[in-house]
Chain A
Amino acid sequence: MKKIAVVLQHSPFNSALSREAQDMIMALAAVEHQVTVIYQDAAVLQLLAPKDDASIGCKDFIPAQKLFDLYDIAAVVANRSAFAKYQITSDQTIIPVSQLSDVEIADLLAEQQHVLRF
């Protein structure tokens, strides 16, 4: 078992990047790694439910983030400044997320044994 951070940095639907990142998160957690998911930059948009999911043009993987709890994901955090930049408030996110400062996220990353970025 390793402490692994998965850092998400991109908006959800512009490419397969974020969707395939979610598959990686689930796979890491399924084999008992201690996984921390960190939303940075435009990735905070992944925490919002699409208003019209029929028009996205690709699989809506946003609701599957609710499975993080079931998969025993150790921590789900987001960059506070990204929330401010994209004008997202904590009551809008589909799963509970701890908002951390840049320094707190740096400390969290320093605790990890592996880091993967998407």
Chain B
Amino acid sequence: MAVFALYVQSSTFASPVLASVLRFAQATVAQQHQVDHIFFYQDAVQAISAHTDLPADEPDLAASLITFCEQQHIPLLYCVTAAEKRGLSSSKVQARAGFIAAGLAEFAMRLDTVDQVVQF
């Protein structure tokens, strides 16, 4: 069994990155490996917005990811500094329920116990 960290930095709006992350996480768990956490940095912190209003015919991939990660007890972490700079997190703006504020230091420390980092 291998322990994976999924590191996401691509724009979640401009690319289908959340679908790729979800598929990879599902495949990892299905093959009896472990996802230690999923970490959002750079423009990928868009995913945490609680105010995204998608048209009815577009899939809410962040919701799918939250549901899967809650079932599997996989922490969905985001860099709070990157989110604050982009106006996605503050004392007045809450992140979407299911995402957990973290720092780069926490991500860095978690890498100690991870076999593979997969970057999206």
Q: Which residues of A contact B116 (CB under 8 A)?
A: 114
B105 touches which of A1, A17, A20, A30 (Cβ 8 Å): A30
Q: What band does the interface of chain B fall in when counting residues whose beta carbon is under 8 Å from A?
A: 20 to 34
Q: Are B42 and A31 in contact (CB under 8 A)?
A: no
B interface residues, Cβ below 8 angstroms from A = 7, 9, 41-43, 81-82, 85, 103-105, 107-109, 111-112, 114, 116-117, 119
> Can you list 28 A-B pairs with a CB-CB distance of less than 8 A?
A2-B111, A2-B112, A16-B43, A16-B85, A17-B42, A20-B42, A20-B82, A23-B81, A23-B104, A24-B104, A24-B108, A26-B104, A27-B103, A27-B104, A27-B108, A28-B104, A28-B111, A30-B108, A31-B105, A31-B108, A31-B109, A31-B112, A33-B112, A114-B111, A114-B116, A114-B117, A116-B7, A116-B117
